[in-house]
Amino acid sequence: MENKRRGILERLNAGEVVVGDGGYVMQLERRGYVKAGHWTPEAAVEHPEAVRQLHREFLRAGANVLQTFTFYCSEDKLEISGNVTNITGAQINEAACDLAREVANEGDALVAGGVSQTPCYVTSHSETEVKAIFKKQMDDFLKKDIDFFIVEYFEHVEEAVWAVEVLKTSGKPVGATLCISPQGDMHGVPPGECAVRLVRAGADIVGINCHLDPLTCIRTVKLMKAGLENAGLKAHLMIQPLGFHTPECNHTGYLSLPEFPFALETRSMTRWDIHQYAREAYNAGIRYIGGCCGFEPYHIRAIAEEVAAERGFLPPASEKHGLWGAALEMHTKPWVRARSRRDYWENLLPASGRPKCPSMAIPADE
């Protein structure tokens, strides 16, 4: 059945909006299946029902892509974490592919195999060793039925380029996202230059994920786009930012916030923040629009609802959501009924209920 499904490039080439999925590790941490600080994905083997359910919620929220739950799933990272003594990375990768495929087939979604930064890059800085790790992961994925690859959460464009180079040998499309700020990657390579290097390495789609809030990530993707244009290159653009407000962050993103990772609640975006994000991403020419840490299913639904006109349909989960608060019009309290309209929610400045807390923190890297 999945061979009838149109591929990622087919969709993007046709100008369609592709809605990505949300963040797995942070949401599964809150659900009890991932250890914060390590963030390894052994739940794909240990608790497949939990991963399957989250896949389903993102699908139902309108996601066109389900990423395999394989974040940080290189053998070196798994070993460091100490979380899995009797499960191999290969087992996790394969189980994760099966889960994503099973749920993707319940709808019109594609499966993307995800590969992320390795500890080995920083410790060895050996192209051979790092590429060998990526090759091993790729081989796991290729035993299963995946549609394309996403190289994501790279702080150094050099390592991301190595990953792209490896994964392109599969013959499948490759998307590549860095977790960098508008100032560039950790070696100071500016976003425009990063994009150029990724596309020259073979990436079909480039963009940004994680570390910073949506509007900041859009700024970075715009710089990537400009870099590509200046170089006369072409690629699709994608974005999967944090679902948290991080206005005061600098180079190292939300890792530098005092609230990371156990007190980020108060920075969480509302669904209305996501509407604004999705529209601005669309207006910036980005067509693959998803989320990373902090994006729960209802945030993905908000993307899908914002671009419903462009896509021509609402996601399944909208059957349980009055658009722009419409379902409140029958509420028993008159003042709640008065909130069943778009401009109320668009203009609301939500209070934190925390008068002893500031509105901006002092980042650790300041």
Give residues 224-243 in contact with a copy of itself (rule: CB under 8 A): none
Q: Which of 7, 10, 13, 36 binds a copy of itself (CB under 8 A)?
A: 36
Q: Which of 2, 49, 106, 139 binds a copy of itself (CB under 8 A)?
A: 49
Q: Which of 34, 45, 194, 208 binds a copy of itself (CB under 8 A)?
A: 34
Q: Which is nearer to a copy of itself, 223 or 361 (CB)?
A: 361
The backbone torsions φ and ψ at residue 55, rounded to the nearest 5 degrees and listed phi first, read -55, -45
Pick out residues in 83-112 that bind a copy of itself (CB under 8 A): none
Give dist(CA 164, CA 172) in Å, integer: 11
Contact between 125 and a copy of itself (CB under 8 A)? no
* Nearest-approach distance from CB 354 to a copy of itself, in angstroms: 6
Per DSSP, the three-state class of 266 is helix
Q: Applying CB under 8 A, which part among 126-134, 140-148, 183-191, 325-333 lies near a copy of itself?
A: 325-333
Contact 247, 218 (CB under 8 A): no
Give dist(CA 314, CA 274) in Å, integer: 16
Contact between 323 and a copy of itself (CB under 8 A)? no
Q: Which of 259, 276, 282, 341 binds a copy of itself (CB under 8 A)?
A: 259
Q: Which of 125, 187, 200, 320 binds a copy of itself (CB under 8 A)?
A: 320
Contact between 219 and a copy of itself (CB under 8 A)? no
Q: Which of 244, 277, 288, 295 binds a copy of itself (CB under 8 A)?
A: 244
Contact between 349 and a copy of itself (CB under 8 A)? yes
Nearest residue to 148 (alpha-carbon basis) of 115, 172, 166: 172
Is 217 annotated as a binding-site member? no
Contact 281, 289 (CB under 8 A): yes
Q: Which is nearer to a copy of itself, 62 or 114 (CB)?
A: 62
Contact between 268 and a copy of itself (CB under 8 A)? yes
Contact between 296 and a copy of itself (CB under 8 A)? yes
Q: Which of 139, 187, 258, 342 binds a copy of itself (CB under 8 A)?
A: 258
Q: Which of 32, 171, 188, 312 binds a copy of itself (CB under 8 A)?
A: 32
Q: How many C-beta atoms surround the C-beta of residue 294 within 10 A?
A: 25
Q: Which of 7, 106, 108, 122 binds a copy of itself (CB under 8 A)?
A: 122
Nearest residue to 19 (alpha-carbon basis) of 213, 238, 223, 225: 238
Pick out residues in 172-191 that bind a copy of itself (CB under 8 A): none
Contact between 304 and a copy of itself (CB under 8 A)? no
Contact 43, 50 (CB under 8 A): yes
Contact 300, 63 (CB under 8 A): yes
Residues 6+ apart with CB under 8 A from 336: 328
What does the DSSP 8-state code read for residue 115?
E
Give dist(CA 98, CA 104) in Å, integer: 10
Is 210 annotated as a binding-site member? yes
Give dist(CA 158, CA 154) in Å, integer: 9
CA dihedral sign, ordered 238, 58, 14, 1: positive
Contact between 311 and a copy of itself (CB under 8 A)? no
Burial of 35 (0-12, 13-18, 19+ CB in 10 A): middle
Contact between 56 and a copy of itself (CB under 8 A)? yes
What residues are designated binding site?
210, 292-293
